[in-house]
Amino acid sequence: MPHALHPRLPPLAELCITIPSAKRVFASAPGRPRRILLNNVDMAGSNAGMSRKPYHAIPVFRDMVDRCARLCAEDGFPPFVDIIVDAAGRQGDHVDTDDIGYTMLKSHPALVTLELALAAFWRHVGVEPAMVIGYSPSRSPLTRSRLS
């Protein structure tokens, strides 16, 4: 779905295919830096498998997802990459949202990981937000990406 607030902003799926186009879309006029606002997606705005294409098409996105998954696994969290990419065969045959294992122990790390991966992608294509707004667990990684 195209971004509702900016008609020239291509959907993320298109950016997955042609990352150089993002640099043109976000280019500003000489002497006028473009101010970008990032708004987080809360848990209601996300669903299982919604980042399958970026995960497979954008190395910097995939690297951040895999890094977060590895760090969380080292701390004893259950696997959650299946929620992000709906990867059949990767961590199970399918994503079962009715399973008792689909809890906050999986969904919150998945949401935070998704936001960190998106922040890594935007930074990779040269987009630095001037402001971050939102609420829920995903606010923290977006803010952290803005400050670092």
Q: What is the per-residue DSSP string for 108-138?
A: HHHHHHHHHHHHHHHHHTT---SEEE--STT
Its domain, for residue 69, covers 21-147
Query: Does some domain include residue 117?
Result: yes
- Domain count for the chain, please give it: 1
pLDDT exceeds 50 at position 148: no
Q: What is the pLDDT of residues 65-123, one digit of tens each?
A: 999 999 999 988 888 888 888 754 344 444 455 554 556 778 778 888 888 888 888 88
The pLDDT assigned to 108 comes to 79
Given a cut of 80, whether residue 146 has pLDDT beyond it is: no
Give, for 38, the enclosing helix (H) or strand (E).
strand 37-39
Is there a domain that residue 98 lies in? yes
Tell me how many degrees the CA angle 81-84-89 measures, rounded to the nearest 5: 55
CA 92 to chain centre: 22
Mean pLDDT estimate for the chain: 66
CATH number at residue 112: 3.40.366.10
15 located within any domain: no
Give me the pLDDT at residue 94, please. 47
Task: Please tell me the pTM assigned to this model.
Answer: 0.62
Query: Is the pLDDT score of 130 beyond 90?
Result: no
Read off the pLDDT of each residue in 31-41 and give the average, rounded to a whole number. Answer: 63
Nearest 5°: the CA angle 103, 140, 82 is: 35
Buried/exposed code over 25-47 (b: 16+ C-beta within 10 A; e: otherwise):
bbeeeeeeeeeeebebbeeeebe
